[in-house]
Structure 1
Amino acid sequence: MSIKFAQVEKDKASDKILILKNPTRYIPQSIEDMADLSLQLQQGTETKQVFIDIVSIKAFTLRARLKSVTEIETLDLNKIQQAVIEIKNPTFILEKLKAAFRQLPCADDENLQANLPHNIEFIFGPPGTGKTTYLAREKVMPLITGTNLINILVLTPTNKVADVFVKKLMAEIALNPAQKGLQNQLIRFGITGESEIEQAGLLKDKAFDISHLTQCVVVTTIARFLYDGFSTSLLKAYDWDVIIFDEASMIMLAEIAYVLYQQKASCQFIVGGDPFQIQPVVIAEAWKGENIYTLVGLQHFQAPQTVPHDFPITTLTTQYRSVPPLGSLVSQFSYNGILRHHRQLTDQKPLKIERLDLTAITVIKFPVNPYDSLYKSQRLEGSGPYQIYSAIFTVELAHYLSQQIRTHHQDTWKIGLVCPYVAQATLVDKMISAHTMIHPQVQLVTGTVHSFQGDEFDMILTLLNPPPHISSNIFLNNRNILNVALSRAKDYLILIMPESEGLEQLNKLEMILKEDEIKPYVQEWTSAQVEQILFNQPNYISENSFISTHQKINVYGKAEKKYEVRCEENAVDIQLGEWDR
């Protein structure tokens, strides 16, 4: 499979890292764990091949670290017309897993649940409860500052989660100047998306000799545990005393089971995460919905229990992220209303938006019509459902909010635009990029719910576009996915919801919004009412859009409408007219 990128830039912090932008297709998460990648840089009739050490996904861009910077020293990246990267089929992880399991001293019919080791501890941390901080402060720091030398391995589902863990540890170490030397024992293995980690000298690759360290904390992705390591030892062959799994709900069951059974009997395991957040993206259909929590039966926040042993469980019940109305919504939706809230409503970030006075929770309902090209839900092959109207509406709303914040505020804002499906997220992201809504004061981040787990934002716009056909197993009827989408906001949550039937989890959400504890902080509008506020016209988007089918040959002149859209199963083209910046 190949992915083409229309733009190539050098990373400001490192000449060895290229930033690849505007991909032609969705970038699979599995690319971060692949080795021996190469990049074709095309300039006119010439093609230059450069070799990549490792890559990292960030939103809709790919950061690629070159094996040698000399390969691009003579290239003018501004003249590169296209960059193409060939990636392996994600099943290579499956092959690594199969080979690894064959080496375990287990019978083919062994019951992996019944024979789980006793030495597993669970840290159950709902959104915003400081789970990663707890793991760093209460688990790792006491171990590495104790009297015994100890080797700790932290395994995460993604590089992004690994980076967050490392930064938490860096912050804990920095709190005590006498412990500054501990940072020399901290290793980020693989690739990082954070220049702060690289500049601190923590990023190590397979050439590093780990044998000279008397104790260490290594943080990496769990996929690398199967096949990767340092010059003197593979990760799975090293003598680990403690292994920590962070954001464990996202880790494939087969991956975590292998680690539990492969390690020595004296190794202690700590599982940090939340069974009510996103489940793993799996290779085999039979693994769908399965993770360590389903294996041990940990499915209740109130009075949790496990099998086959009564594993110790620490539940974190105070959330520090959101103001009380937002925290109460999440608490009622997924955690039996048990969560306490550290922040007060008076802590809410002040916000002035002309004509659009936002409360903590704002619900905006948009129409869905299967007989109207603008309002109908459609499906893009390989990327999932999208709806043109709600995408345009969300971009217009984000643009207005960004303008208002820059006009009335001096402080910086981080705003997230969350979509359940790749196609819708890509549509929104590309329109925002085309409108150049880039300003240091307002950071707009667009992505799928999966890419937002572990993040937090001052404001979240959650765009819940439905698929063409409603069923019980769609994303909008998945409590875990909605739980993550709802819980990213610190101060303001805007729910952009469809007027559709059969969405049971959204119906549950609306019932919670009407409860006495939350209702005073909720307001509801229709998208037409918001259009009236933004444009002085309730049907502005409809009147300024033209939708047609995508032809085999398309010639684009000047756009007659603000939004001219051409759709087919494999592509969506949006030609933008005049835009008020």
Structure 2
Amino acid sequence: MTTKTYINEWMQALQLEINYLKKFGGSRFIITNGRLLSNEESYNYYFDTAISLRIPVGSAIKLEWGAMNSKGKVLSSEGRGIILSLEKGFGDLIPDAFLLHDPWELLEHLIERLDEIKKNKQKRVRVKRLMNPSKDTKHPIEKIKSNVHELVLRSKYNPVTFVWGPPGTGKTYTLARTAANKYFQQKKVLILSHSNQAVDVLMSELTDFIKKKHRFREGDILRYGGNNGDALVNHHEITTGGLIEKQVPFLSQDRMRLLEERTNLKQDLANSFSKRDSDHVMELELQIGKLFEKIRKKEVQLVKDAFIVGATLAKAASDSAIYEQEYDVVILDEASMAYIPQAAFAAAIGKRVIICGDFKQLPPIASSRDPLVAKWLKEDVFHHAGVVDSINDGELHPQLFLLKEQRRMHPDISAFTNRYIYHSLVGDHQSVYKNRNQIVSQAPLKDHATVLVDTSFTGLHCLSDKTTNSRFNLLQLLMSFQLIHEAYLDGTKSIGYVTPYRAQANLMESLLEEIYRDECQKADIIAATVHRFQGSERDVMIFDTVDSAPQQRPGMLLTGKDSERLINVAITRTKGKFLHVSNRNFIEKHIFQGKTLRQLVDHQVRNKQSITTKEIGSWVQNQHSKLRWIHAIKLEAVFRDLNSARGSITISLPVGTNLSDEWKEQLLNKGKHLKVTVISDQERDFSDELLKVQFPFPFVMIDEKVLWLGLPLEGAIDIRPPYIAARLCSRNVCEYLLKQFI
């Protein structure tokens, strides 16, 4: 395939993805309380938002209000308020609407860059070398002294170097020192990645190293764009904001003054509304726009003067300050998550390129199902350049440099990934044996680095969300929360919870926000999908696979083409303790032995790294005030809750449930002020309202804030002793569960 053919196919694939996103929308947010600010040239509205929407100013959006819709753009987005400029007007007030945003304009910028590459012979040659890397290397192998030195030599003598960096193998360390070496030789280096976090981490490591060598010069190293997260908290002097603040203080001061004035005014708008405030907001937007033009000119100069620039791929492809320059070396980090056209763009603007990533981790994400999109936007450059084929043939590609010693995970955890994911090419550095023992010795499940928390025979709890079809499992959610609680109380302050399913991740995030907020502020506790967690690490990781009966089969996320990569990411975020919450019985029934999840379960069982619900009493040492585990046969506590109900009782009775006389008496003797809603396939004497739904597991909900999961026990199917029930006090979880019936 010629380089021009490559580029034409990439441009076509990107356009197909853009068309798909425009047609079906992407991120969807509810916005409320919209008020018209002005209607000169365009219709400018102020809206309240439930959460802070981090949508860049100028982004294209679409607003849907009932059957009506309008295109528009974001004028400002700060705090819980957003100002939109719409092509159409919908009157003075919009009670609630949907805001659709997907940054397809970034893909349009990438198409423009590819078109420029197609017309430039030198850039086309660079792209060809990327896609068809030479089998001959030119670096002097006999001179190699270390990993860093080998990468320095490879990137000096070879136009394209691929770096395979499995988790914990020192990828950031190696790339940072390689970039520093180029800087010491007065070479211009561009550092790129798909995420701001990855750029920040690498730029921070690089700056630390150069400062230790006492060779740091202000303005030589620049982090361009981004929100400058925690990784750069000690390196304000390499950010554009920090440099402008020091070099042109009046611009920085004016910016802070205007933004503060706008924030205060938007708070006023949220509470009240007046024509004067509306006019003032629009006047401020105009002033801020003019100021940002001045800041932009200064930023462009900073980029030109810097020797090392760090930015995201999206920023680089859309900002002429970067893409109009040429660099001696371009370093693309986390390349396994970048689109192939993005990798080609990175290669085209550098004389040498280092492509670093792990093709055993998650691939790029695209929405369109078109074959061309699948080919070029859902697989990484390692696969298309033949690097992976070489490994499958039992050898490393000559242009591939493998980092093969991991220093992150306890050996009991890495034993699985080293063998089953990395074909025994990766080993453990001796330091992980002693450095992780402190974490391993702490609760839960002390002195175990990896444990399968088996939820087999605890009932039929895995459901699909009514709105999104994403799966959730309340029993495994509460088990996982208990593991977080035990770890936190025993001193662990770095805890991650991951799951393949967005619904489950959102539920855990909501639960933590409601009943564990103080603890989350004192510790680093995060809940997310596996996709969101790539690039992070925690001392303790909980991997909740969610899937179990009554689902007929496991989801594609756990068994499909990319399932090995997803499970690998989930495991390898861990430093010292990996807790795998999973239904062994369901997995053994429905997943064949060649699949990664089945291999993981079999490995943990074979190595005596599993516990069942029979042993829950041995590891639950600390009951949380809002979550209590109780033997399901003991009914005193649930009956006390029923007697204290003030407004409503909702009870789920699965098919075939025949309640005991004790339960019937409690429900028949409830006060007149109480409304009893029964979820069942048949009428019940004690019900005020019947929701004729076949629901798989029993629960009792009191006043829409207290949930008893696993009761009445008579309704539980596919359970074995010990019969456990969980009492959860959470309005958020109760509200979510009720929405599944409305």
- Paired with 2:337 and 2:573, the residues of 1 have a C-alpha distance of 17
8 Å CA contact retained: 1:113, 1:296:
no
Structure 1, residues 281-312: CA drift from partner, whole Å, max 9, x if none? 11433334411112112226587768xxx652
Structure 1, residues 13-55: CA drift from partner, whole Å, max 9, x if none? xxxxxxx99659xx8xxx76774489x9xxxxxxxx99447x9
8 Å CA contact retained: 2:443, 2:487:
no
Q: Give the length in aligned residue pairs.
A: 495
Residues 114 and 470 (structure 1 numbering): CA distance in 2 closer, same or farther, change over 3 Å?
farther
Q: Which has the higher helix share?
A: 2
Counterpart check, 1:452 vs 2:541: no
Residues 4 and 556 (structure 1 numbering): CA distance in 2 closer, same or farther, change over 3 Å?
farther
Indicate the residue corresponding to 2:500 in structure 1: 420
8 Å CA contact retained: 2:328, 2:351:
yes
Residues 556 and 257 (structure 1 numbering): CA distance in 2 closer, same or farther, change over 3 Å?
farther
Indicate the residue corresponding to 1:559 in structure 2: 706
Structure 1, residues 91-148: CA drift from partner, whole Å, max 9, x if none? 33343333443344269xx9977883752111111010011111111x20100011xx
- Paired with 2:222 and 2:229, the residues of 1 have a C-alpha distance of 17
Indicate the residue corresponding to 1:132 in structure 2: 172
Residues 189 and 124 (structure 1 numbering): CA distance in 2 closer, same or farther, change over 3 Å?
same
Of 577, 580, 589 in structure 2, the residue corresponding to residue 492 of structure 1 is 577
1:245 CA drift (Å): 0.7
Counterpart check, 1:278 vs 2:362: yes
Indicate the residue corresponding to 2:193 in structure 1: 156
Does the residue aligned with 2:323 lie in a helix, a strand or coil?
Answer: helix
8 Å CA contact retained: 2:441, 2:448:
no
1:154 CA drift (Å): 1.3
Amino acid aligned to 1:105: K
Larger Rg over CA atoms = 2
Write out aligned runs for 1:97-136 (5 A): 97-105=110-118, 116=131, 118=133, 119-136=159-176
TM-score, structure 2 normalization: 0.58
Indicate the residue corresponding to 1:169 in structure 2: 206
8 Å CA contact retained: 2:704, 2:731:
no
Amino acid aligned to 1:466: D
Counterpart check, 1:433 vs 2:524: no
Gaps of 5+ in 1: 7-19, 41-48, 56-61, 67-81, 576-581
Does the residue aligned with 1:93 lie in a helix, a strand or coil?
Answer: helix
- Paired with 2:553 and 2:208, the residues of 1 have a C-alpha distance of 45
Please tell me the root mean square deviation across aligned C-alpha atoms, in Å.
4.4
The percentage of aligned residue pairs carrying the same residue is 18
Counterpart check, 1:349 vs 2:386: no
Indicate the residue corresponding to 1:364 in structure 2: 453
Does the residue aligned with 1:127 lie in a helix, a strand or coil?
Answer: coil
Indicate the residue corresponding to 1:10 in structure 2: none
Q: Which has the higher mean CA deviation after the structures are superposed, 486-495 or 503-512?
A: 503-512
Q: Which has the higher mean CA deviation after the structures are superposed, 329-338 or 487-496?
A: 329-338
1:179 CA drift (Å): 1.1
Q: Which has the higher mean CA deviation after the structures are superposed, 542-551 or 354-363?
A: 542-551
Write out aligned runs for 1:453-468 (5 A): 453-466=534-547, 468=551
TM-score, structure 1 normalization: 0.72
Structure 1, residues 200-238: CA drift from partner, whole Å, max 9, x if none? 351457443444654421111112222224xxx3x2111
Residues 301 and 134 (structure 1 numbering): CA distance in 2 closer, same or farther, change over 3 Å?
farther
Indicate the residue corresponding to 1:298 in structure 2: 387
- Paired with 1:150 and 1:394, the residues of 2 have a C-alpha distance of 49
Write out aligned runs for 1:170-569 (5 A): 170-176=207-213, 178-181=214-217, 184-194=220-230, 196=233, 199-204=236-241, 206-211=296-301, 213-229=304-320, 233=321, 235-260=322-347, 262-263=348-349, 267-285=351-369, 286=371, 287-288=373-374, 289-299=378-388, 312-342=399-429, 343-347=431-435, 348-350=437-439, 356-367=445-456, 375-382=461-468, 384-403=470-489, 405=490, 409=491, 413-439=493-519, 442-466=523-547, 468=551, 470=553, 473-477=556-560, 478-499=563-584, 500=586, 501-503=589-591, 504-513=595-604, 519=607, 522-530=608-616, 533-534=619-620, 537=630, 556=703, 559=706, 561=708, 562-563=727-728
Gaps of 5+ in 2: 1-26, 33-47, 64-72, 84-94, 134-158, 242-294, 621-627, 639-649, 653-677, 680-689, 692-700, 709-726
Does the residue aligned with 2:309 lie in a helix, a strand or coil?
Answer: strand
Residues 573 and 323 (structure 1 numbering): CA distance in 2 closer, same or farther, change over 3 Å?
same
- Paired with 2:707 and 2:427, the residues of 1 have a C-alpha distance of 53
Residues 50 and 33 (structure 1 numbering): CA distance in 2 closer, same or farther, change over 3 Å?
closer
Residues 437 and 540 (structure 1 numbering): CA distance in 2 closer, same or farther, change over 3 Å?
farther
- Paired with 2:49 and 2:485, the residues of 1 have a C-alpha distance of 21
- Paired with 1:21 and 1:341, the residues of 2 have a C-alpha distance of 47
Indicate the residue corresponding to 1:14 in structure 2: none
- Paired with 1:243 and 1:32, the residues of 2 have a C-alpha distance of 28
8 Å CA contact retained: 2:547, 2:583:
yes
Q: Which has the higher strand share?
A: 1
Amino acid aligned to 1:486: I
Does the residue aligned with 2:118 lie in a helix, a strand or coil?
Answer: coil
8 Å CA contact retained: 2:162, 2:355:
yes
- Paired with 2:443 and 2:326, the residues of 1 have a C-alpha distance of 60
Amino acid aligned to 1:434: E
Structure 1, residues 375-414: CA drift from partner, whole Å, max 9, x if none? 13323533722112111221123223322x1xxx4xx620
Indicate the residue corresponding to 1:143 in structure 2: 182
1:157 CA drift (Å): 1.2
- Paired with 1:456 and 1:540, the residues of 2 have a C-alpha distance of 41
Amino acid aligned to 1:559: V
- Paired with 2:493 and 2:633, the residues of 1 have a C-alpha distance of 28
- Paired with 2:212 and 2:634, the residues of 1 have a C-alpha distance of 52
Q: Which has the higher mean CA deviation after the structures are superposed, 154-163 or 335-344?
A: 335-344
Does the residue aligned with 1:129 lie in a helix, a strand or coil?
Answer: coil
- Paired with 1:401 and 1:185, the residues of 2 have a C-alpha distance of 40
Residues 472 and 399 (structure 1 numbering): CA distance in 2 closer, same or farther, change over 3 Å?
closer
8 Å CA contact retained: 2:221, 2:307:
yes
- Paired with 1:428 and 1:438, the residues of 2 have a C-alpha distance of 15
Residues 319 and 84 (structure 1 numbering): CA distance in 2 closer, same or farther, change over 3 Å?
farther
Indicate the residue corresponding to 2:45 in structure 1: none
Indicate the residue corresponding to 1:78 in structure 2: none
8 Å CA contact retained: 1:5, 1:23:
no
- Paired with 2:414 and 2:633, the residues of 1 have a C-alpha distance of 35
8 Å CA contact retained: 1:355, 1:533:
yes
Does the residue aligned with 1:506 lie in a helix, a strand or coil?
Answer: helix
Q: Which has the higher mean CA deviation after the structures are superposed, 194-203 or 273-282?
A: 194-203
1:158 CA drift (Å): 1.1
